[in-house]
């Protein structure tokens, strides 16, 4: 069987270790070997974040030994992404964000340890200051870029207990898709079942035909959906460009602030992306939100909604009512981060409060519109939103997407549930 290397990176070794151990339990111990980069630090290393601080050859050897007997090998630590092995057929990179307060503590501890090593080496003041000043550069150079390169970014507010089950299912699916030998083995198992339960050659041929037909339908549906996304988005951008220009000017003239407002949203399989909107609130809206939490009109604690939010500007209230503030997200559709139809992409802090059932919304590419958006928008409670999104995931088709797109037009014009 080919091998999969799961690399977990975090500023906090404790956070990375907790996730690694949780995944080991989910994936079963006989399939997983944990390798911590901390075990391979060289004694004279000055910077734990630098590749020179580790014996990479020994670390690679340990990983290779693990891969020789197990299909999975989890490497966790601050320089996990530095390991490049030809024996690995598939690589899944995860970045565990560290709580800002804990990150500060980790950085201080690392800095103090560095100063102690410098003192033991009896460096002069100028050398000590130069080395000390390089610490933030090492963070920028070796650790933070790993977040952008990761397949999955886990928000610091999430706990291993809540997110590890979903992550393990994702890893299993990715491994099955990437491993040709596993795929062939699965095909052999299907053929064996067909031989066992098909009592005639005709019945077997019928089952094989249905299987091929099903695969063809699924792949063609995804291709058609993506084609419609690109074509419709290009046409929409062309037709709506005058409106986009006018709205941009009005927002700028209102208070001189930024035209666009960017948020980090969570997309398919938990991958984060930048989510643009026309700015409809005052410039310091995020800071004022904490003062308004007690007035949240949404049922539950996941979403925050207010019909008469004092942070919304006059032009903002108008563009929100007719969903004009969502137009910049057409760019996300072109990039492939979003689709025209699908569940709305949530905020990381919302995902942190998701149950396992809620996380099903992350199984498909998020969209601009969907079932609950054309059925009442913000008037629909969070639990009902999840149920409608799951219904879409289980039954979505090209025809359903087209129907929802046409229903979006009257939903936008009436402004029902928009606030």
- Over its length of 419 residues, how does the chain's per-residue pLDDT go in tens digits? 467 888 898 888 888 899 998 888 888 767 788 888 888 877 655 556 666 777 777 887 888 777 776 778 888 887 766 666 666 767 888 888 888 887 777 777 766 776 776 676 666 666 666 666 666 676 677 777 777 778 888 888 888 888 888 888 888 777 766 655 555 555 666 666 666 666 666 766 777 777 778 778 778 888 888 999 999 999 999 999 999 999 999 988 887 788 898 888 988 888 889 999 998 887 766 665 555 555 555 555 555 556 667 778 888 888 888 888 889 999 999 999 999 998 888 888 788 777 767 778 888 899 998 887 777 665 677 777 888 888 888 777 788 888 888 888 877 766 555 54
363-to-215, 399, 401 alpha-carbon distances in Å = 18, 20, 17
Residues 6+ apart with CB under 8 A from 248: 259, 278
Tell me the C-alpha distance between 3 and 87, whole Å.
Answer: 7
Which two structure tokens, joined as six digits, stand for 265? 């949203």
Minimal CA–CA distance to 186: which of 199, 198, 197, 173? 173
The answer to whether residues 342 and 408 touch, using CB atoms and an 8 Å cutoff, is no
Looking at the chain, the domain(s) classified CATH 3.40.50.300 span 4-181
Task: Return the CATH number of the domain spanning residue range 4-181.
Answer: 3.40.50.300
What is the pTM for the complete model shown? 0.49
Tell me the C-alpha distance between 411 and 407, whole Å.
Answer: 6
Residue 5 buriedness (CB in 10 A; 0-12 / 13-18 / 19+): buried
């Amino acid at each position: 069987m080919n091998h999969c290397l799961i690399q977990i990176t975090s500023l906090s070794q404790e956070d990375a270790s907790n996730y690694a151990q949780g995944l080991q339990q989910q994936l079963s111990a006989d399939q997983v070997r944990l390798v911590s980069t901390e075990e391979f630090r060289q004694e004279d290393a000055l910077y734990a974040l630098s590749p020179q601080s580790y014996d990479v050859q020994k670390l690679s050897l340990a990983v290779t030994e693990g891969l020789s007997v197990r299909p999975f090998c989890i490497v966790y630590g601050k320089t996990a992404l530095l390991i490049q092995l030809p024996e690995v057929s598939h690589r899944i990179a995860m970045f565990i964000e560290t709580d800002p307060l804990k990150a500060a503590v980790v950085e201080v501890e690392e800095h103090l340890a560095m100063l102690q090593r410098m003192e033991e080496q009896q460096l002069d003041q100028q050398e000590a200051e130069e080395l000390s000043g390089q610490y933030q550069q090492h963070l920028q150079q070796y650790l933070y870029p790993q977040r952008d390169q990761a397949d999955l970014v886990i928000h610091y507010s999430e706990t291993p207990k809540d997110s590890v089950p979903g992550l393990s299912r994702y890893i299993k699916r990715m491994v099955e898709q990437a491993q040709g030998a596993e795929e062939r083995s699965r095909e052999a198992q299907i053929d064996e079942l067909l031989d066992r339960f098909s009592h005639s050659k005709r019945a077997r041929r019928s089952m094989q035909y249905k299987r091929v037909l099903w695969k063809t339908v699924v792949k063609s549906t995804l291709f058609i959906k993506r084609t419609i996304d690109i074509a419709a988005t290009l046409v929409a951008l062309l037709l709506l460009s005058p409106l986009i220009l006018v709205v941009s000017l009005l927002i700028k003239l209102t208070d001189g602030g930024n035209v666009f407002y960017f948020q980090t949203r969570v997309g398919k399989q938990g991958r984060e992306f930048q989510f643009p909107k026309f700015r409809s609130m005052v410039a310091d809206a995020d800071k004022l939100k904490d003062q308004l939490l007690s007035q949240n009109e949404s049922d539950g604690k996941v979403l925050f909604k207010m019909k008469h939010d004092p942070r919304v500007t006059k032009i903002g209230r108008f563009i929100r009512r007719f969903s004009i503030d969502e137009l910049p997200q057409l760019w996300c559709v072109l990039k492939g981060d979003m689709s025209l139809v699908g569940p709305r992409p949530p905020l990381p802090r919302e995902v942190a409060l998701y149950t396992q059932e809620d996380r099903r919304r992350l199984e498909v590419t998020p969209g601009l519109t969907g079932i609950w958006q054309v059925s009442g928008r913000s008037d629909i409670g969070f639990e009902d939103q999840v149920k409608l999104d799951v219904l879409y995931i289980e039954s979505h088709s090209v025809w359903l997407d087209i129907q929802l797109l046409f229903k979006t037009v009257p939903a936008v014009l009436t402004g029902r549930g928009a606030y």
